[in-house]
Amino acid sequence: MMNESAHFLALVDELSSLSQVDALLLAGSRATGLADDDSDYDLYVYLNAPLSLASRQQILDKYCRYIELNNQFWETEDDAILHDGIEVELIYRDFEFLNQHLQQLLLHHQASVGYSTCIWANLLDSKILYDANGLAGQLQQRYKLAYPQALQQAIIDKNLPLLLEQIPAYSHQLAKALQRQDRVSLNHRCSEYLASYFDVLFALNQLPHPGEKRMLNYAESHCQRRPQQLRRNIEALLSEVGQGQACLLERLKILSQGLCQCIEEHPDLELPGI
């Protein structure tokens, strides 16, 4: 933990002294070595019993100049700014939640619409700062698995139809929004399209999904199987959506067809029956 915030390290040290805390895992760019000046601390606090709001407030008051306690937008978390100006997110979980999710994903191959394997990637890429009973390390080893081919296919089957011509497909939704010149809907549906697009792309390459940040850079550096001119077409789509240009519909076809071609060229995967 060299070159890390002294306030963050002190916060980790105090949390690790609590009997309710099983483990502390650092995730995100601070764990993977990709942090920049705008990077925050994503600290996952795994609990074996509730940690009261009063206790959390008392601890954070020592190390933070601003605190938002008990935000519930995605998971239970405390968001704060350390005394040195660096943001920190404390996300509270338990190992039962994590284990159940990963069993459904990796043993039962339960895909979702977009971001199917993000929690798996989160565990594998996290840096263990504290592990009272070794449970975090055991789970990292247990789920350090080869990417299941059945999961690959399940993610493709779940997401690819939404990139093509079925009635709920994003292309149809974007065409309607374009006709109405509904800029909010255009941006929303484009984001959903890209969520499913990258979910398929990372599954195709047997890569756990790295999350929503820097996805294009990650795809270019890690995906051996990818459509030609991926960056050019993604950036063009974003520009066309932003300007409400009709040519975005043709761009969608180019992107989706390129992805289908990559799947067709894979010896072990099939296009879903669409």
Buried b (16+ CB within 10 A) or exposed e, 126-150: beebbbeeebbeebbeebeeebeee
**Pair (247, 159) in one structural domain:** yes
Domain co-membership, 72 together with 125:
yes
117 burial type by CB count under 10 A (0-12 exposed, 13-18 middle, 19+ buried): buried
| pLDDT tens digits in sequence order for the chain, 274 residues long | 447 889 999 999 999 999 999 999 999 877 777 767 778 899 999 999 999 999 999 999 999 999 999 999 989 999 999 999 999 999 999 999 999 999 999 999 999 999 999 999 999 999 999 999 999 999 999 999 999 999 999 999 999 999 998 888 999 999 999 999 999 999 999 999 999 999 999 999 999 999 878 899 999 999 999 999 999 999 999 999 999 889 999 999 999 999 999 999 999 999 987 5
Q: What is the pLDDT of residue 32?
A: 73
Do 198 and 180 have their domain in common? yes
Distance CA 125, CA 218 (A): 14
Say whether both 53 and 93 belong to one domain.
yes
Distance CA 46, CA 88 (A): 16
Do 189 and 213 lie in one domain? The reply is yes
Is 270 inside a domain boundary? no
Instruction: Give a yes or no: residue 274 inside a domain.
Output: no
Q: Taking the CB of residue 221, how many other CB atoms lie within 10 A of it?
A: 8
Indicate whether 259 and 177 sit together in one domain.
Answer: yes
Q: Calculate the alpha carbon distances from 203 to 85, 140, 166, 213, 256 in Å.
A: 37, 20, 21, 17, 15
In this structure, are 194 and 230 located in the same domain? yes
In this structure, the answer to whether residues 155 and 120 fall within a common structural domain is: no
Neighbours of 185 (CB within 10 A): 15
Q: Does 81 map to a domain?
A: yes
50 and 109 belong to one structural domain: yes
| Residues 28, 133 within the same domain | yes
pLDDT at 274: 55
Q: Mind listing the pLDDT tens digit for each residue in 10-34?
A: 999 999 999 999 999 999 877 777 7
| Nearest Cα to Cα of residue 193 among 220, 213, 164 | 164
Q: What is the pLDDT of residue 166?
A: 82
What the block records as the tokens of 211 is: 């999350």
Q: What is the pLDDT at residue 155? A: 97
CATH number where 55 lies: 3.30.460.10
Asked if the structure places residue 272 within a domain, the reply is no
**Residue that finishes a domain, picked among 111, 142, 173:** 142
**Which residue among 142, 168, 198 closes a domain?**
142
- In three-state secondary structure terms, 27 is strand
What's residue 1's pLDDT?
43
Query: What is the per-residue pLDDT for 4?
Result: 80
Domain interval for residue 78: 6-142
Angstrom CA distances, 128 to 55, 135, 198, 261, stand at 23, 10, 28, 40
* pLDDT score, position 2: 41
Same domain, 134 and 170: no
**199 within domain boundaries:** yes
Give me the number of domains the chain comprises: 2
- Report yes or no on 273 lying in a domain: no
Last residue of a domain, one of 118, 142, 166: 142
Kindly state whether residues 31 and 56 are assigned to the same domain.
Answer: yes
42 phi/psi in degrees, rounded to 5? -105, 100
